[in-house]
Amino acid sequence: MEKIKAEKVFLWIMLIWGLLATFVTPPLTTGDEGYHLSIAYNIFSSEHPSTMSMRPMRDLEFEAIGGNYDGDTSTFNKKSLVIQKINLQHDGVKLNLDNSDSSFGPIDLMHLPAAFGVLLARLVYPSVGVMDYGARIANLLFFVLSFYFLIKRRKYGKWILVMLFTVPFMQKVASPSYDVFSYIALATYSLNLFDLALVERFRDLKTSKILYSLFTVLLLIFSKKNYVFALFALPGLPLIYQPFLVSIEQLDKKVRSFLYLISGLAAAIIVYFLNGKFHLVHLFKVFFNNYIVGQFAYNATIWSVVPTTIPNFINILWFVALALVAVGEKGHVYKKWTAVNFALVYFINWLGIFTGFYLMKESLSSFADLSGRYLHPFMVFFIPLAQSFRKKVNLEINEKAISMIAILITIFVLALYLFITFYRGFILRVNPTWAYH
């Protein structure tokens, strides 16, 4: 029997599902879709018509999702978004890549794939709905093809990637969102990092690998700002920390003791200045209130890879399947510090984003702003730890069983999301993609 290829399974599942999701999900309802559509449109606009500016698009989006809380869309005419053309005949084509201040890059590359889809749709049928569909399809193709090749390049651990690159991203895959570009950038960087973690000396790296590694770092710079927290994984590379440790071990014992003392003093000074800036005791108190005590039900979504429209037990089921695939699939063995350091990046990103919100709302004892979508892409950094754990306990699950677990749970959750989205959007006529608790 021919071996099931994970990358082909991923390609066909996400391509078929994504196209269905494009048209099953009403326009402007995938979350901040009006915002992203406006930016994507204006990348190839010469006149920047007011009808496609941020405020009108945000207003339409607000109507499409039924407001903030009740989610009632019964009075909103979805068909008009698709059928009714808007006057864009005087708008020409001109490339504008001004930074939207969402990345550290000098220009906005994150919306470029969606912008091509919007431009093509605009030339065919200039309605908000059709242009939105164009952006969704363009981003979908960019996502599917990019991840297809990323998975194909891997020697081991392909099925865990299929799971991590489907369900956690499903609400943004077929949308104009800059998340798609950022997902691809982080995945490209992290998977390359896993390869570098198996190399112990710089001189063993080929020039092409060094250039590719620099390219993956550059992708992070042009992604959402919080994705630069992934750079904290670099100290976990053996080719970076091992030469440093060897140099320390070769020093005289008294010199080492002096260095340790200086390092301790430096750490204390850093903590002192950080406390002056962030009020660390209060910061950790607010963090505790948010995620341990759970003062806001919304904060519970940080642990959920499925949208709030899907029952939480499905989320638990998916994580059980993920754990089986993660520890049962054949993979590499990484050095202990490398695996632990990579896993810590998830928590560094979490605390980093939280601190950003905290600085804006320091006077509050808790707040509900940080959702799971900020953290889900960083779950990929747990792969080395899971693969090393598998080797240590000598656990092995049949490869066919692993593939079936990954395929079945992925198809089940994606299909359930489509059904619920259609039912909420066209039968119940409420916000199709978000349930307020």
Vertex 421: Cα angle to 323 and 295 (nearest 5) = 60
DSSP string, 150-217: HHHH-SS-HHHHHHHTTGGGHHHHTSS-THHHHHHHHHHHHHHHHHHTT---GGGS-HHHHHHHHHHH
> What dihedral angle (degrees, nearest 10) is formed by the CA atoms of 26, 32, 34, 36?
-120
Which residues sit opposite 98 in a β-bridge?
Answer: 107
pLDDT at 365: 62
DSSP string, 391-432: HHHT----HHHHHHHHHHHHHHHHHHHHHHHHIIIIII-B-S
Do the Cβ atoms of 413 and 318 come closer than 8 Å?
yes
Identity of residue 43: I
Do the Cβ atoms of 28 and 81 come closer than 8 Å?
yes
pLDDT band at 373; cut points 50, 70, 90 = confident
> Above 50 in pLDDT, residue 241?
yes
The secondary structure element, H or E, covering residue 221 is helix 207-221
Q: What is the mean pLDDT of residues 351-357?
A: 88
Residue 292 neighbours by CB distance under 10 Å: 9
**For the chain, domain boundaries:** 6-250+294-428
CA distance 153 to 9: 15
* Gyration radius (Cα) of the chain, Å: 23
pLDDT in tens, 181-195: 999 999 999 999 999
pLDDT at 297: 57
> Above 70 in pLDDT, residue 9?
yes
CA distance 271 to 265: 10
pLDDT at 229: 96
Q: At what angle do helices 207-221 and 179-196 cross, to 10 degrees?
A: 150
pLDDT at 301: 73
pTM of the model: 0.93
